[in-house]
């Protein structure tokens, strides 16, 4: 068998091949040509590889910066996917070497990789190579078929609007993100919202983050933004699914039902827009958000995890 790993370009052919393999291998975490093209424009520097066995594409990998951490963070993000019938032939290991080389060339010492309890072979593969769990997310979902939009109980003195109606509130939304990202449990390094420009590129101005589903809470007395909740539409694959990207409430307004109201607003939008399913993931320690989800009827899916581990290959190992 001849095995070749090549760098994928941003043309339709390579990106379609890449998306087909990812969507067959990890249907719970789909991608698309459009999403990858957007991501390469917004977050330059990500590399993608295609592994061909006897000329047939059977595996993919990607590697690049983790954009919720500062540029000097010591690890790169990476994904590896091999078609089920092609596993246990060394392809995953070859792709791990390829992404490790890329990370090493950028001065990094580790990789962070996503996996799921739904795919134990992926976790075993990483654990056997020195990776350890660094984050565990309790994933939950809500089936929307047959649901009617829930009524929204906004606390007294608060109004809800959307980014579509009030794009001028973006600076206030960013201020809420700066305060609340630091409070999100999970991992050893706190998430950072970054500058307004970085925040807009990553979390706001994306075709998959609808401004009409980006709900914003303001304090009537001052007009200050005190919370928001938004959705990230998944690339269409079998069903129309959205992920709860962020639900945030400033510290002084917590404990009064505002996160529940914001989340109900996004659920109502999703039902009206004809989505099939909503998904959310929260760190095991995020008891407040998990309680909100349970109260709203979300039920558990397999946990998603992030594993951190060493680069393979390099002069030390030869």
Ligand X SMILES: CC(C)(COP(=O)(O)OP(=O)(O)OC[C@H]1O[C@@H](n2cnc3c(N)ncnc32)[C@H](O)[C@@H]1OP(=O)(O)O)[C@@H](O)C(=O)NCCC(=O)NCCS
Handedness of CA 150, 146, 118, 55 (dihedral sign): negative
Q: What DSSP assignment string belongs to 219-242?
A: ETTT--EEEEEEEEEPPPBSB-EE
Residue 279 C-beta: closest distance to ligand X, Å: 17
Q: Strand 132-143 to strand 299-300: parallel, antiparallel, or no bridges (unpaired)? A: antiparallel
Nearest alpha carbon to residue 2 among 120, 114, 91, 83: 91
Of 88 and 238, nearer to ligand X (C-beta) is: 88
Whose structure tokens read 């991501």? Answer: 39
Q: Using the rule CB under 6 A, give the single segment among 6-14, 124-132, 189-197, 206-214 that binds ligand X.
A: 124-132
Q: Judged by CB under 6 A, does residue 237 bind ligand X?
A: no
Helix or strand (DSSP H, E) at 15: helix 12-25
262, 228 contact by CB (below 8 A) = yes
Taking the CA atoms of residue 67, residue 68, residue 71 and residue 72 in that order, the dihedral angle to the nearest 10 degrees is: -140
Q: Judged by CB under 6 A, does residue 23 bind ligand X?
A: no
Q: Judged by CB under 6 A, does residue 25 bind ligand X?
A: yes
Residue 95 C-beta: closest distance to ligand X, Å: 7
Of 36 and 226, nearer to ligand X (C-beta) is: 36
State how far the Cα of 149 lies from the Cα of 227, in Å rounded to an integer: 21
Residue 123 C-beta: closest distance to ligand X, Å: 7
Using CB under 6 A, which of 8, 15, 35, 80 touches ligand X?
80
Sketch the per residue contact string, 26 through 65, with ligand X: x for CB under 6 A, - otherwise. x---------------------------------------
Using CB under 6 A, which of 37, 104, 119, 237 touches ligand X?
119
**Interface residues with ligand X (CB under 6 A)?**
25-26, 80-82, 87-93, 113, 115, 119, 121-122, 124-126, 128
């Amino acid at each position: 068998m001849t095995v070749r790993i090549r760098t994928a370009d941003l043309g339709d052919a390579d990106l379609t091949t890449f998306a087909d393999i990812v969507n067959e291998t990890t249907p719970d975490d789909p991608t698309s040509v459009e999403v990858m093209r957007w991501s390469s424009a917004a977050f330059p520097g990500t590399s993608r590889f295609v592994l061909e066995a006897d000329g047939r594409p059977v595996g993919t990998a990607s590697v690049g910066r983790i954009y919720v951490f500062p540029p000097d963070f010591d690890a790169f993000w990476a994904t590896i996917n091999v078609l089920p019938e092609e596993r246990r032939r060394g392809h995953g290991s070859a792709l791990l070497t390829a992404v490790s080389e890329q990370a090493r060339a950028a001065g990094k010492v580790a990789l962070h990789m996503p996996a799921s309890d739904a795919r134990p072979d992926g976790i075993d593969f990483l654990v056997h190579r020195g990776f350890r769990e660094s984050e565990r997310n309790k994933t939950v979902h809500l089936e929307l078929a047959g649901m009617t939009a829930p009524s929204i109980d906004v606390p007294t003195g608060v109004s809800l609007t959307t980014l579509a109606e009030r794009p001028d509130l973006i600076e206030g939304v960013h201020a809420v993100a700066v305060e609340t990202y630091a409070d999100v449990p999970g991992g050893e390094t706190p998430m950072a919202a970054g500058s307004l420009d970085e925040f807009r590129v990553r979390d706001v101005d994306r075709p998959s983050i609808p401004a009409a589903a980006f709900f914003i809470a303001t304090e009537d007395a001052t007009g200050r933004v005190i919370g928001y909740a938004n959705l990230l539409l998944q690339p269409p694959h079998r069903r129309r699914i959205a992920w709860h990207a962020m639900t945030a409430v400033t510290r002084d307004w917590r404990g009064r039902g505002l996160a529940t109201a914001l989340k109900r607003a996004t659920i109502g939008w999703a039902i009206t827009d004809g989505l099939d399913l909503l998904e959310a993931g929260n760190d095991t320690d995020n008891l407040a958000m998990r309680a909100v989800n349970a109260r709203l009827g979300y039920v558990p899916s397999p946990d998603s995890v992030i594993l951190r581990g060493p680069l393979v290959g390099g002069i030390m190992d030869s």
